[in-house]
Structure 1
């Protein structure tokens, strides 16, 4: 039987996995998958962005004290980047076992890793208390966070889209993607509430509460995921013998697709991290905005993206993935050029407009990244392929975006250097999208390119 037969729309139940047998049962299971993947990715990204915001606002003086504020901030952002570096490792490991023993088990494990590391971060003493052990422990736990989130997104997208009916793959893929803005919104809301509730004590100990309460969220997420059945396409791929070492199979047989999807998946996160993470530090230190105001702007961006993603995904299911991705790349380049002239005015309303426009432009790309990645790899190596593309893209894209932006400002003294960096990245994504569209897709996706 051919390798691509695993992408047929039906599957045969196995003795070890509960599989819906009727149309009504399959519909109920699909709804559960949508809910569980959205909830799980929301929790993962809450933890991830909570760290990102804390790196921008808190961790510099707490864990990397220095007479030079820029050096202190670079130390905090470096640990943020270390978490990004760990993500491909988590993706490869989870993809290997997810393609061999099942998607569901790896998605549960990812929540354990991320939740445990996040709670422990909230309990680490500062540099003042334990010296170099503080940044060392913070870095280790950040690496564990990276492993957890690396295992998460590829599996959640694979699970959601493999349960999707024909013609709705972008829409189903939007469910775990919506977890990203939802997690960011939840993290920002938590920080705002704690700032108000703890006052001056927020920088000393109030921020820790946001990390510790992650335990409760993880418990809910694990409960939701344990109720799911396995992916029907995974069952079919197992029956036809899984790849022995899935990530090596991706490298050997799908190298062009992997390289192209890395840029397609990685570039949108550059603008996201620039305007919603790095701009927290830049806006407060260089322009003079209040932290709370910028966090509220971030929340508004998240609400807008949660609304936009399913609408754009539905549109992409009807008009094609490539067209929507190209439009996203063009809009990201345009809004990157608009962002700093508006943001640098010192007017909070213009800063809000700049941030909302820039972040909204990424929604056009994010609405089709999941199905574009999914169609690039067959089911027996799909978890691995998607995870590698997305996580290596995160390194090339968003992971180093705050560090690159901080360095560009320090070297050039101009925010235009950061804008041009984003424009160049968007043009690279546009080119990769067009090249990728020329590859033969799997037959159940061929009419959605």
Structure 2
């Protein structure tokens, strides 16, 4: 069914898109910054006394904690967002992320606080995970519910640019401070990118406060009795929820392997810190460009064709990416991340936002999108660096098993999308995803 709605107010739509983009930049700047710093700094400052390998594993474990918290954030913010609106929950998620990240920038290290230092680090990482769990689904839905159906893929894709732009921004800031002498960088330089979060938070709250609630949500709340427990409604359709998780599974695995895990792996084969950070900038840039192309394409040929093609391409480049990184040549690392990995990753991630939004009814959409994406983030992104370290050790330092893991994850996404119906042009106000009520038994 296609949507026949009046053209949206263009000023309102621009505010929604800019708010979503900026919110994504802030959330992923903070969230992904932690991943890079965990490989460069936290293993040395917060887990002192451990062997280098154990310290790196412990640092990646705190990185994974943020991913494990994301489904909880998705369920909390999703439930409240489906009942009370998208806007207020997006303001709350932004505050939580900004405050947690700023506090990481002033944390004492193990040398001065002992075991309290990693405990506080883990607690703040939990807050980051909960915040991201609420942000992605809410900003995606607000854009999707304001966008005209013919451009819904592209416009939700613009909001998804917040991820790579946030990654580029965090990497660029970290690259600048990493030019300091090692002693200064480890003493106080690494704190600067986290403290910048306070400035980003103030800007984000100003922009987001001017956004209005979506009319699709307001009509849904006014026209029908509001469901008390959106998650219970979703659990009545477990196949739909499980399929939604795998739409983005390959993207979350790849994103973690080419960020946090890649930093540790590339450092181990002799690539310098600055060269690694430059490679991450190329990766984010390639993903951002591909996001716009792929989302626009999904509005023309459909979500399924675009996403299946991206997943298959990403599976095909898995081994070349890690083989090039494994040479220790910085130029090959830049090509691997910017040309081979970044574009298909962006092409798989961005159109998934529209597909997820179009797969759920309004009354459970925030919960469904958030739960689907964030569970994938845990099973994929959260565990990927730990699994990558284990597979690398199992293969004696060869990246072949890591590449196989990435390829299998992308193929799982391709199968999940293939098994779904095409949703391009769906009327978001309709209840197409809701199963028909079971007729009462005749007595």
Tell me which interval the TM-score lies in, with the shorter structure as reference length.
over 0.9
Greater CA deviation, 300-309 or 227-236? 300-309
**Offset of residue 346 of structure 1:** 2.0
Are the aligned partners of 1:8 and 1:233 in contact in 2 as well (CA < 8 Å)?
no
Are the aligned partners of 2:3 and 2:426 in contact in 1 as well (CA < 8 Å)?
no
Deviations 1:115-174 (A, max 9, x none): 111011111111111111011000011001111111100000000010010211111111
**Secondary structure of 2:328's partner?**
coil
Deviations 1:50-81 (A, max 9, x none): 11111111100111124421110010000111
TM-score relative to the length of structure 1: 0.91
Residue 314 of structure 2 is aligned to residue 332 of structure 1: yes
CA distance in 2, matches of 1:421, 1:120: 35
Are the aligned partners of 2:362 and 2:429 in contact in 1 as well (CA < 8 Å)?
no
Structure 2: gaps spanning 5 or more residues: 431-443
CA distance in 2, matches of 1:103, 1:97: 8
CA distance in 2, matches of 1:328, 1:53: 26
The within-5 A match list for 1:160-309 is 160-197=143-180, 200-239=183-222, 240-252=224-236, 254-284=237-267, 286-309=268-291
Q: State the aligned residue count.
A: 427
CA distance in 2, matches of 1:186, 1:104: 25
**Offset of residue 245 of structure 1:** 0.9
**Secondary structure of 2:99's partner?**
helix
CA distance in 2, matches of 1:44, 1:429: 24
Deviations 1:13-69 (A, max 9, x none): xxxxxxxxx95x711101110111000110000000111111111100111124421
Are the aligned partners of 1:181 and 1:302 in contact in 2 as well (CA < 8 Å)?
yes
The within-5 A match list for 1:105-144 is 105-144=88-127
**Secondary structure of 1:204's partner?**
helix
Structure-2 change in CA distance of 1:324 and 1:438 (3 Å)? closer
CA distance in 2, matches of 1:305, 1:362: 6
Greater CA deviation, 42-51 or 428-437? 428-437
**Secondary structure of 2:227's partner?**
coil
**Offset of residue 225 of structure 1:** 0.6
**Offset of residue 441 of structure 1:** 9.4
The within-5 A match list for 1:308-319 is 308-319=290-301
Are the aligned partners of 2:302 and 2:422 in contact in 1 as well (CA < 8 Å)?
no
CA distance in 2, matches of 1:207, 1:186: 14
**Offset of residue 176 of structure 1:** 2.1
CA distance in 2, matches of 1:443, 1:225: 26
The within-5 A match list for 1:13-92 is 26-92=9-75
TM-score relative to the length of structure 2: 0.93
